[in-house]
Homo-oligomer: A and B are copies of this chain.
Amino acid sequence: MIQRLRRTVSDLHAELVRYDLVAWTAGNVSGRIPGEDLFVIKPSGVSYDELGPENMVLCDLDGNLVEGDHSPSSDTAAHAYVYRNMPEVGGVVHTHSTYASAWAARGEAIPCVLTAMADEFGGEIPVGPFALIGDDSIGQGIVETLKGHRSPAVLMRNHGVFSIGKDPRAAVKAAVMCEDVARTVHVARQLGEPLTIGQDDIDRLYDRYQNVYGQRSPR
């Protein structure tokens, strides 16, 4: 199980590259070992070309290194805090993707003016506080913003995106969709105000997408 998750987490970084969410080494994916107080995360400062299952790092929920030859990502404390405080979360992703980070730099939530955004985020994508790296500040900001919120992504002020999911793949999907809608709503607003979608329509879209979309059997 750990070995499989090492490969899954390692491979998912290729999606961050494919969708242009990361430059150099600035972005990371982690995944919780189901049923254990452990998670797998990217090593710090290693380029995406050099990632493989063997250099992924295993940490406990306090962010301490349990197994691995490399130091874990410098964002490990934030991932660990999320896993400690949101037991339903099985995957966490962090990026500085361009359009989402631009909204974050202004401290502005992304308004829900696209049906795809209603589907995936169930409303706006919220802004979390400004927080320095080095202690639990970032993790606390993520959890306080996302607890009880439909959105699986938060724009951390002047920083970037953290996204969560039931597993690492779902968290990566949320990171990809977050940048996609951040870009489209940005472009829309450059030439005027987007039309609003009524809250009841947002609710209907969200409910349907969460319960009907995709293949019924687990994949």
**Contact call A134/B208, Cβ cutoff below 8 A:** yes
List the B residue with the shortest CB-CB distance to A101. B184
**Contact call B43/A215, Cβ cutoff below 8 A:** yes
- Shortest A157–chain B CB gap in Å is 7
Residues of B close to A214: CB separation below 8 A: 44-45, 71
Beyond contacts A101-B188, A132-B201: 5 other A-B pairs, Cβ-Cβ < 8 A, are A23-B179, A44-B213, A99-B187, A101-B114, A105-B114
- 14 A-B pairs (CB sep. < 8 Å): A23-B180, A71-B216, A74-B212, A99-B187, A102-B187, A106-B191, A106-B193, A106-B194, A115-B159, A115-B160, A130-B201, A158-B195, A186-B191, A190-B191
Q: Closest 9 A-B residue pairs measured CB to CB?
A: A45-B214, A102-B188, A102-B187, A105-B188, A105-B194, A23-B180, A115-B159, A107-B195, A101-B184
Residues on A facing B (Cβ under 8 Å): 19, 23-24, 26, 43-46, 70-71, 74, 96, 98-99, 101-103, 105-108, 113-116, 130, 132-134, 157-160, 173, 176-177, 179-180, 183-195, 197, 201, 204-205, 208, 212-216
